């Protein structure tokens, strides 16, 4: 099975771009081999530059809820394109998209930006500006984009002090960040007891999807919201991945609506951009009114609310009906069950983990509640599994720590391709498994 053109492109790319890719995980470093360069995508399928087809379980890392090149999204985008690509002035599409987000989620006002990173960065700045405080709290293993202050890992020992997670982030940038273990109420309570008056906000993935998928323990988000409120800190629920994916509204719709908590601020991205660079942050009106030009907290963007991106996002959200979520649930369940069975039959330790319609498979046994648990995975087993699936025409995330994304365009044939590939992939994982 050749991938000569992908290999040739990767060689060219590596000369002019660090690692040959424009976002690290695409490089296949975690699984070995060279990345496939994609030529086209349609529905549930990708076609690479060598003409090979794959059933896609990455979905552009989440945005493609309706599958690739959905005819109605494409038509809306074509119509918008004919009217120009960017004006730097307000448009109707932005208003429509903002109303759609406000209508589906607890946020009262929203501002559009171009990436999830920008959304979380801006939300934190706003929280600091609103509260006049400086500390930001996050959880180990939660990813909120490559914001300096959030690219932090937990310090050694029992301390919650954050250390920069990468060269290039100075200690001063993370000195005001505190990192806690996920799902650890005692650690949250202790930190707020000690430093609560300095905490501007706590940010969490509404359901973690960046250390593999972990469903929050029932009541955990509610506990966070209550703790923040008790200390005058803002609760920022990052729904860049979960928003409009886990359910029609996101994780908030799953447990927030049930448990009755409300975030002060939320961040969105991925699905709401319909495959274009669009993201958003929003929340309580009194907080959002602190933003420039009404309030003193500055935030801006040349391409913010870009009319093509707003059109794609709006069309996607309007098409994301109950039927779409029902199909995604059905497809996800079929894949989860089959993966579980194949890995069990092959004797590969694993945990199938989901939050709403989002899921992943951890190549470990035991409970996975936090980043330490997730890191016990056998990544060599996953790499073998990944390549066996790829060889059989299934494109999984090239890392054991990522969610598997399905779409409503995953038809029965696509599901069949996945199910047919699983037993051999499980056997390959068994071969590669440690011990
Ligand atoms: C929960 C979460 N927040 C923020 C981001 C950053 O978004 P972006 O990659 O668009 O900057 C991501 C990206 O995967 C994410 O999953």
pLDDT at 37: 98
pLDDT at 321 over 80: yes
Residue of 21, 145, 205 with the most ligand 1 atoms within 8 Å of its CB, for mutation? 145
425/3 Cα distance (integer angstroms)? 20
105/251 Cα distance (integer angstroms)? 10
Whether 404 and 310 map to the same domain: the answer is no
Whether 156 and 227 map to the same domain: the answer is yes
Ligand 1 in reach of 104 Cβ (< 6 A): no
Domain final residue, candidates 319, 348, 364: 319
Ligand 1 in reach of 205 Cβ (< 6 A): yes
Ligand 1 in reach of 63 Cβ (< 6 A): no
Whether 294 and 268 map to the same domain: the answer is yes
| Cα 2 to averaged position of ligand 1 atoms, centre (Å) | 33
Domain with residue 33: its CATH number is 3.90.1150.10
Whether 307 and 326 map to the same domain: the answer is no
Given the CA of residue 210, which atom of ligand 1 is nearest to it?
A: 16
pLDDT at 17: 97
Whether 331 and 315 map to the same domain: the answer is no
Whether 367 and 390 map to the same domain: the answer is yes
73/275 Cα distance (integer angstroms)? 10
Residue of 143, 207, 214, 309 with the most ligand 1 atoms within 8 Å of its CB, for mutation? 143
Ligand 1 in reach of 402 Cβ (< 6 A): no
Report pLDDT digits (tens) over 247-276.
999 999 999 999 999 999 999 999 999 999
Ligand 1 in reach of 60 Cβ (< 6 A): no
Mean of the per-residue pLDDT values of the chain: 95
Given the CA of residue 239, which atom of ligand 1 is nearest to it?
A: 1
pLDDT at 418 over 70: yes
Mapping DSSP to helix (H, G, I), strand (E, B) and coil, where does residue 292 land? coil
Given the CA of residue 205, which atom of ligand 1 is nearest to it?
A: 1
Structure tokens at 110: 């929203």
**Domain tally for the chain?**
2
Given the CA of residue 23, which atom of ligand 1 is nearest to it?
A: 9
Residue of 26, 114, 240, 313 with the most ligand 1 atoms within 8 Å of its CB, for mutation? 240
- For residue 318, count CB atoms less than 10 angstroms from its CB and return exposed for 0-12, middle for 13-18, buried for 19 or more: middle
pLDDT at 65 over 80: yes
Scan for tokens 């323990």, then name that residue. 217
Ligand 1 in reach of 251 Cβ (< 6 A): no
395/53 Cα distance (integer angstroms)? 9
More confident residue, 291 or 161: 291
> Can you name the residues that pair with 211 across neighbouring β-strands?
none
Confidence of residue 1 (pLDDT cuts 50, 70, 90): low
Ligand 1 in reach of 210 Cβ (< 6 A): yes
Whether 213 and 304 map to the same domain: the answer is yes
pLDDT at 156 over 90: no
**Which residue range forms the structural domain that includes residue 193?**
71-319
Whether 115 and 81 map to the same domain: the answer is yes
Taking residues 406-416, what's their average pLDDT? 98
Q: Give the DSSP letter of residue 152.
A: E
pLDDT at 87 over 70: yes
More confident residue, 158 or 375: 375
CA-to-CA dists, residue 422 to 214, 350, 410, 426, angstroms? 22, 14, 16, 6
pLDDT at 435 over 80: no
Phi-psi region of 250 (alpha: psi -120 to 50; beta: other; left: phi over 0): left
What percent of the chain clears pLDDT 90, i.e. is strictly above it? 94
Taking residues 51-66, what's their average pLDDT? 98
pLDDT at 175 over 90: yes
Q: Would you name the residues annotated as active-site residues?
A: 143, 238, 270
pLDDT at 422 over 50: yes
Lowest-confidence pick of 124-133, 164-173, 215-224, 284-293: 164-173
Domain with residue 181: its CATH number is 3.40.640.10
Whether 57 and 83 map to the same domain: the answer is no
Whether 249 and 361 map to the same domain: the answer is no
Ligand 1 in reach of 240 Cβ (< 6 A): yes
CB 139 within 8 A of CB 182: yes
Mapping DSSP to helix (H, G, I), strand (E, B) and coil, where does residue 82 land? coil
Helix (H) or strand (E) holding 427: helix 412-432
| Cα 307 to averaged position of ligand 1 atoms, centre (Å) | 21
pLDDT at 363 over 80: yes
Ligand 1 in reach of 116 Cβ (< 6 A): yes
Domain final residue, candidates 300, 319, 338: 319
Tell me if the bond preceding 357 is cis, omega within 30° of 0: no
Phi-psi region of 360 (alpha: psi -120 to 50; beta: other; left: phi over 0): beta
pLDDT at 158 over 50: no
Taking residues 381-406, what's their average pLDDT? 97
Whether 44 and 93 map to the same domain: the answer is no
Whether 259 and 303 map to the same domain: the answer is yes
pLDDT at 355 over 50: yes
More confident residue, 159 or 52: 52
Report pLDDT digits (tens) over 230-246.
999 999 999 999 999 99
pLDDT at 2: 82
pLDDT at 319 over 90: yes
Nearest CA to ligand 1 atom 8: 116
Confidence of residue 161 (pLDDT cuts 50, 70, 90): confident
What percent of the chain clears pLDDT 70, i.e. is strictly above it? 98
pLDDT at 434 over 70: no
pLDDT at 228: 98
Report pLDDT digits (tens) over 196-207.
999 999 999 999
Domain final residue, candidates 302, 319, 336: 319
């Amino acid at each position: 099975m050749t991938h000569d053109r992908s290999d040739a492109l990767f060689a060219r790319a590596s000369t002019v771009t660090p690692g040959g890719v424009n976002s690290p995980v695409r490089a296949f470093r975690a699984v070995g081999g060279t990345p496939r360069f994609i030529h086209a995508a349609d529905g549930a399928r990708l076609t690479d530059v060598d003409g090979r087809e794959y059933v896609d379980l990455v979905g552009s890392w989440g945005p493609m809820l309706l599958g690739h090149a959905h005819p109605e999204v494409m038509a809306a985008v074509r119509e918008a394109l004919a009217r120009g690509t960017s004006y730097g002035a307000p448009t109707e599409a932005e208003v429509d998209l903002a109303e759609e987000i406000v209508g589906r989620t607890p946020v009262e006002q929203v501002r559009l930006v171009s990436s999830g990173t920008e959304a979380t960065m801006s939300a934190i700045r706003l929280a600091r500006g609103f509260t006049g405080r400086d500390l930001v709290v996050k959880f180990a293993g939660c990813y909120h984009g490559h914001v300096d202050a959030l690219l932090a890992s937990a310090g050694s020992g029992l301390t919650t002090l954050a250390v920069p997670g990468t060269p290039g982030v100075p200690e001063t940038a993370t000195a005001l960040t505190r990192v806690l273990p996920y799902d650890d109420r005692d650690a949250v309570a202790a930190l707020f007891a000690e430093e609560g008056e300095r905490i501007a906000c706590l940010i969490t993935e509404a359901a973690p999807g960046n250390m593999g998928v972990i469903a929050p323990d029932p009541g955990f988000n509610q506990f966070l919201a209550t703790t923040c409120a008790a200390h005058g800190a803002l609760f920022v629920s990052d729904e860049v991945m979960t928003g409009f994916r886990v359910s029609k509204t996101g994780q908030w719709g799953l447990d927030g609506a049930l448990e009755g908590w409300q975030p002060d601020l939320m961040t969105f991205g991925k699905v709401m951009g319909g495959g274009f660079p669009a993201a958003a942050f929003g929340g309580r009106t009194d907080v959002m009114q602190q933003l420039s030009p009404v309030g003193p907290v500055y935030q801006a963007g040349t391409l913010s609310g870009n009319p093509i991106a707003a059109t794609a996002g709006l069309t996607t959200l309007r098409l994301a009906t109950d039927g779409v979520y029902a199909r995604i649930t059905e497809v996800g369940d079929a894949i989860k069950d089959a993966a579980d069975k194949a890995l069990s039959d092959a004797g590969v330790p694993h945990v199938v983990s989901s939050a709403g319609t989002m899921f992943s498979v951890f190549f470990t046994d035991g409970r996975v509640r936090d980043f330490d648990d997730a890191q016990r995975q056998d990544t060599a087993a996953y790499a073998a599994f990944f390549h066996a699936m790829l060889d059989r025409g299934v494109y999984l995330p090239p890392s054991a720590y990522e969610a598997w994304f399905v779409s409503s365009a995953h038809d029965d044939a696509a599901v069949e391709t996945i199910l047919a590939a699983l037993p051999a992939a499980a056997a390959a994982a068994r071969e590669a498994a440690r011990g």
